[in-house]
Amino acid sequence: MPLLLWPRGDSSSSAGNASLNASNTSKQPTTLLTFGADTNNHGTDDGGLKLDFTLDGSNDPDTVIYFDTNGDGALDSGPISFMMDFGGTLPSTNKLNGLAPNNTDIRGEEVVILTLVVGTRLFFLRGFFFGPDGPNAATKSQDTFDIMDDFPNGAHNLGNLFVCHVTGTQNYPLTAASQWKT
């Protein structure tokens, strides 16, 4: 079963640093992504739903992303390869508290930054994956969209950084009860 999330754009590559620099949604809208194991778009899961942090910085070998640009459930792209870059925890700044209609506090949450093969960098919160057929999927989708769409633009200094391309880095499995695996 594919897993979904609502990421935001990250402009860190143009800022020349390893922090998170959330792009304005007018530049890179909050977009629904589907992580899938169907790497050839033939309806068969021939890959895995485990994000691979590769040692050499290459693309994840067996997971792909599909875009749903308007959130209607219909995929708007073929399979897109990506590379995991780095991750860390959000700072404890007040601007990350009180987001969206539910006043959600995301201070200290883990974020992961990835780069699509086309060069676009995106970030997402680790705990924001949901299954399309899971319980309360529509509510969870709207809540996570609202939070990510309300995420403050600009620089956010991450703590507890981990780099994805060196010996000893971790893999991130995409499951409902996501845990980091070594």
pLDDT in tens, 77-122: 888 888 888 889 999 999 999 999 889 999 999 998 988 988 899 9
pLDDT of residue 172: 46
- Contacts of 56 by beta carbon, 8 Å cutoff, 6+ apart: 165
Strand-pairing partners, residue 2, are none
8 A C-beta contact, residue 136 and residue 176 = no
Name residue, tokens 């749903």. Answer: 68
Rounded Cα distance between 43 and 37, Å, is 10
What global pTM score does this model have?
A: 0.81
pLDDT at residue 48, rounded to an integer: 75
Long-range contacts of 96-104 (CB under 8 A, 24+ apart): 96/152, 96/156, 99/146, 99/147, 99/150, 99/151, 100/143, 100/146, 100/147, 100/149, 100/150, 101/146, 102/143, 102/146, 102/147, 104/143, 104/147
Residue 85 confidence (pLDDT): 84
Residues 113, 53 contacting (CB under 8 angstroms):
no
Cα dihedral angle (81, 1, 5, 120), rounded to 10 degrees?
10
Q: What is the pLDDT of residue 1?
A: 61
User: pLDDT truncated to tens, each residue of the chain (182 aa)?
Assistant: 678 889 999 986 555 555 899 999 999 999 998 888 866 666 667 777 777 777 777 888 888 888 888 778 788 888 888 888 888 999 999 999 999 988 999 999 999 898 898 889 999 998 887 777 766 777 788 899 999 999 999 999 999 887 654 433 444 444 333 333 32
CA 168 to chain centre: 22
> So what's the pLDDT on residue 92?
94
pLDDT at 141: 85
User: Which residue, 90, 84, 93, is CA-closest to 160?
Assistant: 90
pLDDT of residue 57: 77
Residue 46 CB coordination number (10 Å): 10
